[in-house]
């Protein structure tokens, strides 16, 4: 349309993804929903933009997002530069993680963050003869997380609550139940002492 029509042409605003990624379980790569992802370090241009926004909207938090059900997050229209992201859950079974991502003007920066779960691994054997014991149950006594051993007797309990004296109960049909006490630091995988269950 020409200027004589009295209507000015307006270019459409196109919001472009600048920084996108997912938050995953560090052991099994499972997407984690409802994880808080924050920009905790940013270039001066972004900090100035954030400061200006908060002068008009003091409660604005465009630097904080929650992942969707697929563990995904994204920010649009970020100034170029290096950003530091922090991902955390209120769930104490996971440790927070930070990483850097560089945003450029002509590409989407991808940032997959791996949240480290607190986990315990180990092996369960049967006595007489000494063989790996499949389908033995491993259960955290006070919080109830449960798993079963694989064909080679191995197990992984994850995620579990951290603690200085967590007790795991091991049981199987035809065997005497046994327990082991383990120290589980947050965000680390701990190997439990080898377990041999005795026939009942």
Q: Which DSSP string corresponds to the chain?
A: --GGGT----PPP---EEEEEEEEETTT--B-SS-EEEEEE--HHHHHHHHHHHHH-TT--TTEEE--TTSEEEEESPPSEEEEEEEE-S-TTEE-EEEEEEEBTTB-EE--EEEEEPEEEEEEEETTTTEE-TT-EEEETTT--EEE--TTSEEEE-S---EEEEEEEEE-TTB--EEEEEEE-TT-EEEPPPEEEPB-
pLDDT computed for residue 60 by the predictor:
87
pLDDT computed for residue 13 by the predictor:
46
pLDDT computed for residue 56 by the predictor:
85
Would you say domain 118-197 falls under CATH 2.60.40.10?
yes
> What are the sequence ranges of the domains in the chain?
15-116, 118-197
Give this prediction's pTM: 0.80
pLDDT computed for residue 128 by the predictor:
84
* pLDDT averaged per 10 residues in sequence order, the chain, 200 residues: 54 66 95 97 94 87 96 94 96 95 90 96 93 96 94 96 94 96 96 93
CATH (residue range 15-116): 2.60.40.1120
pLDDT computed for residue 59 by the predictor:
85
């Amino acid at each position: 349309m020409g200027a004589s029509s009295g209507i000015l042409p307006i270019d459409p605003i196109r919001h472009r993804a600048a920084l996108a990624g997912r938050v995953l379980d560090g052991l099994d790569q499972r997407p984690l929903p409802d994880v808080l992802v924050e920009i905790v370090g940013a270039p001066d241009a972004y900090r100035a933009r954030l400061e200006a926004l908060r002068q008009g909207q003091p409660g604005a938090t465009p630097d904080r997002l929650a992942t969707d059900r697929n563990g995904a997050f994204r920010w649009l229209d970020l100034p170029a530069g290096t950003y530091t992201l922090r991902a955390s859950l209120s769930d104490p079974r996971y440790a927070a993680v930070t990483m850097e991502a560089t945003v450029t003007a002509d590409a989407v920066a991808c940032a997959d963050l791996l949240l480290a779960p607190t986990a315990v691994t180990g092996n369960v054997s049967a006595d007489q003869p000494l063989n790996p014991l499949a389908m033995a149950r491993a259960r955290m006594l006070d919080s109830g997380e449960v798993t079963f051993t694989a064909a080679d007797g191995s197990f992984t309990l994850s995620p579990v609550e951290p603690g200085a004296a967590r007790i795991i109960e091991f049981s199987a049909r035809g065997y005497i139940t046994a327990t082991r006490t383990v120290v589980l630091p947050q965000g680390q995988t701990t190997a439990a002492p080898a377990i041999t269950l005795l026939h009942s």
